[in-house]
Amino acid sequence: MSNTLIPVLVGSLQLGHLAAESLGRFSGRTSSGLHGRDTVQASVRVPRHVGIIMDGNGRWARGRNRPHSFGHRAGVRAIKRVMYGCEELGIEVLSVYAFSTENWTRPRAEVRALMRLFHETLEREFDEIHSRGIRIVVSGRRQELSQRMRERIDDAERKTADNPNGTLNVCLNYGGRAELVDAVRALIEAGVSAQDVDEKALAARLYQPELPDVDLIIRTAGESRMSNFMLWRATYAELFVTDTLWPDFDVPDLERAISDYQGRVRRFGGRPEGGAALELSS
């Protein structure tokens, strides 16, 4: 994945299993209330699920002659800004790549520092997130995390399980291929016969099966690749790449990405009769 590796409360922020009327209210909201600009169209729905591949922490820190840890901590602040920006815009789900299954190959000291940062951030930010009614879940292979980390994650998930205003899914020790492998293993362990294996059966065994598919993937720092992120859920996702380094990414950058998404026609592999749009960013 990217060098961002921000082990914070990143992940799929499903800002609620919201009621239908709440969705309608949110979808009519513009960005002008945030920054005085109508970059996000009020008449077009915002994406339900936005995924962010955070990249550029290391470059941001090097440009300031500081260590990578300085960039990671700046990235934590960016996550908070964007998370609450999504809440204001009415985005139901925000998926942010925290730490991939491949990131264990990083220097041991860096991995330890990242895990420590995640734990510290969860401790520090938990009360505020909980008070806003946001649910916290974590996706990834937990068995490879420390017992202390697993206990902290379990506690956060348990305490926020009934929160109605969102789901923050932390993709920690996560990989798209690993998720699919684990889903297949779950099918086998459940004794599902070959003839009963279909997309629905597999999707039900993903890490967080209740989350919707990703509508929009945002990648920072100018890289144009998926890096093993949300391979199943992002099958039909739109991709938006920005040169902005992750620690510099802010709500106006998010608004530009959403505005760009709203101008796209989503066909989901089909071709409409007479060239009419199948779906315009909904």
Annotated binding site for substrate: 56-60, 72, 100-102, 104, 106, 219, 225-227
Nearest of 256, 202, 269 to residue 50 by alpha carbon: 256
Which three-class secondary structure state does DSSP give residue 156? Answer: helix
Helix (H) or strand (E) holding 22: helix 20-27
AA letter at 176: G
Numbered residues of the known binding site: 55-60, 72, 100-102, 104, 106, 219, 225-227, 238
Q: How far apart are CA 139 and CA 10, in angstroms?
A: 10
Which distant-in-sequence residues (6+ apart) come within 8 Å of 51 by Cβ?
A: 12, 94, 95, 96, 97, 214, 216, 217, 218, 229, 230, 233, 234, 237
In this structure, are strands 49-53 and 216-219 parallel, antiparallel, or unpaired?
parallel
Nearest of 152, 148, 185 to residue 170 by alpha carbon: 152
**55 catalytic per annotation:** yes
Active-site residue (options: 55, 169, 215, 228): 55
**103 catalytic per annotation:** yes
Q: How far apart are CA 258 and CA 216, in angstroms?
A: 8
Given phi > 0 = left and psi -120 to 50 = alpha, else beta, which region is 268? left
Which tokens is 138 given?
């974590």
Active-site residue (options: 103, 163, 169, 228): 103
By annotation, the residues acting in catalysis are: 55, 103
